[in-house]
Amino acid sequence: MTVLKITKLTQYFSGLRALADFNIQLEEGELVGLIGPNGAGKTTVFNLVSGFYQPTEGVISFLGQPITGLKPHQVTAHGIARTFQNIRLWNEMTVLDNIMLAQHSSLDYGIRDLFFRTGRYQRREREIRDLAMELLEIFKLREVAEEKPKNLSYGLQRKVEIARALSSKPKLLLLDEPAAGLPSRDVVELIDLIRWIHREFKIAIWMIEHQMKVVMSLCSRITVIDFGVVIAEGTPEEIQHHPDVIKAYLGDDQL
C-alpha cells in the first residue's frame, strides 16, 4: 500500500526555485533517505509535506487522500509526524509535558468535557499520560521525565523529540537530520534506535541525513537532490557510485 505520493512538487521563494518537479512514492513500512548538499531543498520537501509551507505547485497525497495545503496540525492528524533539523522542544516545560502536549493535537473531547472534567476527559488524560510514560520507558527517558529539555544533552533532546513525534501515533515519521550535532557514540545508538522504531512500530520512515554512515546503513533506497532537482535515486550501493552524486559532493569528504 502506498503511504505517501508526491507529484510534481515545486516551491519558489520569491523568485528562488528551491524545489522543482519533485516526485516520490513511499510504500508501507519503507525506510528511505533524502540526501543532498547544503541548501539542496531537503528541508523544504519536509516543510511542504508537513504543512509548514504551501507548495507553488504539485500534489501530495497520504494513504490515498490529498493533503496538499493542509495546516501542520491537520497533517499530524492524518498520521504524519516529524522532527526538526534544529530541535524544537518546549524548553520551559518538562519532558513528560512535551510528550503529553503533542498528543493533544488529536484530542477527541470538547471544551465541555474539559470544563466539567467529565469522565471522558479524565479517561483521555489518563490515556495520554500512560502513552507518554510508555514512550519515556521505551526510550529510557524515565529519569528525565521531570527535567526541562534545555538541561539535557543534545543526544537526549533528540530522543525526546523522536518520542514526542511518535506520541501522535504516526504512520509516517519524517526525520530531518536526526544525527546532526551528535558525538559518534551517540550516532551508533541513534542508528540502532531508528532501526528498532522502524521494526517495532511498523511505520514508514523518511529521513534526511548528512552523515552517510546513517543513511547508508538504514535506508533501502535513497533520493539525492541538488539545487532542488533530483539527480539520483537508488539503493545505497547505487547512490555511492553514481557519478552525478559524486560530482555534487565533490570537495565534500563525506562520500
Q: Which residues bind ligand ATP (CB under 6 A)?
A: 13, 16, 18, 36, 38-44, 85
Closer to ligand ATP by Cβ: residue 28 or 233? 233
Residue 185: count other Cβ atoms within 10 Å of its Cβ.
9
Closer to Mg ion by CB, 55 or 113: give it.
55
118-148 b/e (C-beta count within 10 Å ≥ 16 → b): eeebeebbeebeebbbebbebbebeebbeeb
Q: Can residue 43 be called a binding residue for Mg ion (CB under 5 A)?
A: yes
Region for residue 209 given its phi and psi (left: phi exceeds 0; alpha: psi -120 to 50; beta: otherwise): beta
- Look up residue 221 and give its three cell numbers: 533506497
Residue 65 touches which of ligand ATP, Mg ion, none (Cβ within 5-8 Å per kind):
none
Q: From the list Mg ion, ligand ATP, none, pick the one residue 242 interacts with, judged by a Cβ distance below 5 to 8 Å according to partner type.
A: none
Span near Mg ion by CB under 5 A; candidates 35-43, 65-73, 132-140, 211-219: 35-43
* Distance in Å from the first CA to the final CA of the chain: 33
Q: How far is the CB of 16 from ligand ATP (least distance, A)?
A: 6
**What's the min distance (Å) between Cβ of 216 and Mg ion?**
19
CB 19 within 8 A of CB 48: yes
DSSP secondary structure letter of residue 167: T
Interaction mask 65-94, Mg ion, x per CB under 5 A: --------------------x---------
Positions of E strands within the chain: 2-13, 16-27, 31-35, 57-62, 65-66, 80-82, 172-176, 204-208, 221-226, 229-234
Torsion sign over Cα 133, 139, 141, 146: negative
Reduce the DSSP state of residue 65 to 3 states and report it: strand
Centroid of chain to Cα 86:
12
CB of 157 to Mg ion, least distance (A): 18
Whichever of 1 and 16 has its CB closer to ligand ATP, that residue is 16
Write down the least CB distance from residue 234 to ligand ATP, Å: 19
CB of 114 to ligand ATP, least distance (A): 35
Q: Closer to Mg ion by CB, 43 or 50: give it.
A: 43
Return the one option of Mg ion, ligand ATP, none that residue 41 interacts with (CB less than 5 to 8 A, by type).
Answer: ligand ATP
Which of ligand ATP, Mg ion, none lies near 36, with the C-beta cut-off 5 to 8 A by kind? ligand ATP
User: Whole-number minimum distance, CB 209 to ligand ATP, in Å?
Assistant: 10
Binding site for Mg ion (CB under 5 A): 42-43, 85
